[in-house]
Amino acid sequence: MRDVTHRVVVCAALQRVSSLAIIDGLSQGWNRNEDHGDVLEGANHNSFFDVPAADVVGVTRLDVQSRVAKYVVGGAEKWVGTKSTSELIDSGARAAVLFTHANWRDPSGFMAYCNVRRAHFLFSLKSLLTTGQTTPFPRDLKFSVNP
Protein backbone atom coordinates (compact mmCIF):
# COMPACT_ATOMS: atom_id res chain seq x y z
CA MET A 1 0.00 0.00 0.00
CA ARG A 2 1.19 3.51 -0.83
CA ASP A 3 0.59 6.66 1.20
CA VAL A 4 0.83 10.33 0.25
CA THR A 5 1.29 13.02 2.91
CA HIS A 6 1.21 16.81 2.57
CA ARG A 7 1.90 19.45 5.21
CA VAL A 8 1.13 23.16 4.99
CA VAL A 9 1.51 25.80 7.71
CA VAL A 10 -1.07 28.56 7.93
CA CYS A 11 -0.70 31.81 9.89
CA ALA A 12 -4.12 31.52 11.50
CA ALA A 13 -5.55 30.31 14.77
CA LEU A 14 -6.33 26.60 15.05
CA GLN A 15 -10.07 27.19 15.48
CA ARG A 16 -10.26 29.10 12.19
CA VAL A 17 -8.20 26.50 10.35
CA SER A 18 -10.29 23.71 11.87
CA SER A 19 -13.61 25.13 10.73
CA LEU A 20 -12.41 25.20 7.13
CA ALA A 21 -10.07 22.22 6.92
CA ILE A 22 -12.20 19.78 8.86
CA ILE A 23 -15.83 20.71 8.21
CA ASP A 24 -16.21 23.22 5.38
CA GLY A 25 -12.88 22.78 3.61
CA LEU A 26 -14.09 20.68 0.75
CA SER A 27 -17.02 22.86 -0.19
CA GLN A 28 -15.19 26.18 0.18
CA GLY A 29 -11.73 25.37 -1.05
CA TRP A 30 -12.07 22.37 -3.27
CA ASN A 31 -15.25 21.23 -4.93
CA ARG A 32 -18.55 22.44 -6.36
CA ASN A 33 -20.44 23.04 -3.09
CA GLU A 34 -22.48 19.94 -3.88
CA ASP A 35 -21.53 17.63 -1.03
CA HIS A 36 -24.48 15.67 0.29
CA GLY A 37 -24.76 13.96 3.65
CA ASP A 38 -23.37 14.69 7.05
CA VAL A 39 -19.74 15.09 8.01
CA LEU A 40 -20.38 13.23 11.24
CA GLU A 41 -18.52 10.31 12.75
CA GLY A 42 -20.12 7.10 11.48
CA ALA A 43 -21.98 8.84 8.61
CA ASN A 44 -21.42 8.72 4.87
CA HIS A 45 -21.43 11.70 2.55
CA ASN A 46 -20.96 12.22 -1.17
CA SER A 47 -18.17 14.46 -2.40
CA PHE A 48 -18.12 15.81 -5.94
CA PHE A 49 -14.83 16.85 -7.46
CA ASP A 50 -14.13 17.43 -11.14
CA VAL A 51 -15.82 14.24 -12.28
CA PRO A 52 -19.55 13.60 -12.78
CA ALA A 53 -19.82 10.82 -10.19
CA ALA A 54 -19.57 11.30 -6.46
CA ASP A 55 -17.13 9.62 -4.14
CA VAL A 56 -18.95 8.08 -1.20
CA VAL A 57 -16.92 8.73 1.90
CA GLY A 58 -17.49 7.32 5.37
CA VAL A 59 -16.33 9.42 8.31
CA THR A 60 -14.51 7.10 10.69
CA ARG A 61 -13.20 9.65 13.18
CA LEU A 62 -14.10 13.26 13.79
CA ASP A 63 -12.64 15.64 16.33
CA VAL A 64 -13.44 19.11 14.99
CA GLN A 65 -10.50 20.64 16.82
CA SER A 66 -7.82 18.30 15.56
CA ARG A 67 -8.65 15.49 13.17
CA VAL A 68 -10.99 13.91 10.65
CA ALA A 69 -10.48 10.47 9.13
CA LYS A 70 -12.46 9.26 6.13
CA TYR A 71 -12.69 5.97 4.27
CA VAL A 72 -13.72 5.84 0.61
CA VAL A 73 -16.50 3.28 0.18
CA GLY A 74 -17.67 4.14 -3.35
CA GLY A 75 -16.75 6.16 -6.40
CA ALA A 76 -13.57 5.99 -8.47
CA GLU A 77 -12.33 2.37 -8.45
CA LYS A 78 -8.76 3.33 -7.51
CA TRP A 79 -10.04 5.37 -4.54
CA VAL A 80 -12.25 2.69 -3.00
CA GLY A 81 -10.55 1.31 0.11
CA THR A 82 -8.28 4.31 0.52
CA LYS A 83 -8.49 6.51 3.58
CA SER A 84 -7.73 10.16 4.12
CA THR A 85 -6.79 11.91 7.30
CA SER A 86 -6.58 15.63 7.99
CA GLU A 87 -4.77 16.38 11.20
CA LEU A 88 -4.29 19.84 12.68
CA ILE A 89 -1.25 20.78 14.73
CA ASP A 90 -1.51 23.90 16.90
CA SER A 91 1.49 26.15 17.47
CA GLY A 92 -0.20 29.30 18.76
CA ALA A 93 -0.66 31.89 16.03
CA ARG A 94 0.01 29.26 13.37
CA ALA A 95 -1.47 25.88 12.61
CA ALA A 96 -0.23 23.07 10.41
CA VAL A 97 -2.52 20.90 8.34
CA LEU A 98 -1.14 17.40 7.82
CA PHE A 99 -3.11 15.61 5.12
CA THR A 100 -2.55 11.92 4.35
CA HIS A 101 -4.22 9.83 1.64
CA ALA A 102 -3.33 6.23 2.47
CA ASN A 103 -3.78 2.66 1.26
CA TRP A 104 -3.36 3.22 -2.46
CA ARG A 105 -3.00 -0.22 -4.04
CA ASP A 106 -0.53 0.81 -6.75
CA PRO A 107 1.40 3.90 -7.70
CA SER A 108 -0.23 5.18 -10.87
CA GLY A 109 -0.84 8.24 -12.97
CA PHE A 110 -4.18 8.64 -11.19
CA MET A 111 -2.46 8.56 -7.79
CA ALA A 112 0.01 11.23 -8.96
CA TYR A 113 -2.86 13.34 -10.33
CA CYS A 114 -4.71 13.13 -7.00
CA ASN A 115 -1.50 13.98 -5.15
CA VAL A 116 -1.11 17.22 -7.13
CA ARG A 117 -4.81 18.06 -6.68
CA ARG A 118 -4.56 17.63 -2.89
CA ALA A 119 -1.51 19.89 -2.77
CA HIS A 120 -3.42 22.51 -4.76
CA PHE A 121 -6.36 22.20 -2.35
CA LEU A 122 -4.08 22.79 0.65
CA PHE A 123 -2.55 25.88 -0.92
CA SER A 124 -6.03 27.11 -1.86
CA LEU A 125 -7.08 26.60 1.77
CA LYS A 126 -4.00 28.52 2.94
CA SER A 127 -4.85 31.34 0.54
CA LEU A 128 -8.45 31.44 1.79
CA LEU A 129 -7.24 31.76 5.38
CA THR A 130 -4.54 34.36 4.70
CA THR A 131 -6.00 36.49 1.89
CA GLY A 132 -9.68 35.58 1.78
CA GLN A 133 -9.26 34.38 -1.82
CA THR A 134 -9.45 30.80 -3.00
CA THR A 135 -9.69 28.87 -6.25
CA PRO A 136 -12.18 26.01 -5.82
CA PHE A 137 -13.43 23.94 -8.73
CA PRO A 138 -14.20 25.06 -11.41
CA ARG A 139 -11.96 28.15 -10.99
CA ASP A 140 -8.95 26.06 -9.93
CA LEU A 141 -5.79 25.33 -11.84
CA LYS A 142 -6.52 22.76 -14.51
CA PHE A 143 -4.77 19.43 -14.25
CA SER A 144 -5.34 16.42 -16.43
CA VAL A 145 -5.16 12.80 -15.40
CA ASN A 146 -4.40 11.89 -19.04
CA PRO A 147 -1.26 13.08 -20.89
Q: What is the pLDDT of residues 109-141, one digit of tens each?
A: 888 888 888 888 888 888 888 888 887 766 777
Residue 84's CATH number:
3.30.530.20
Phi, psi of 91 (to 5 degrees): -135, 45
Give residue 67's domain range: 2-131
The pLDDT value recorded for residue 31 is 55
At 90, the amino acid letter reads: D
In a domain, 139, yes or no: no
The pLDDT value recorded for residue 41 is 75
> How many domains would you assign to the chain?
1
Model confidence at 70: pLDDT above 70: yes
Which residues share a beta bridge with 2?
104
Compute the distance between CA of residue 56 and CA of residue 96 in angstroms, rounded to an integer.
Answer: 27
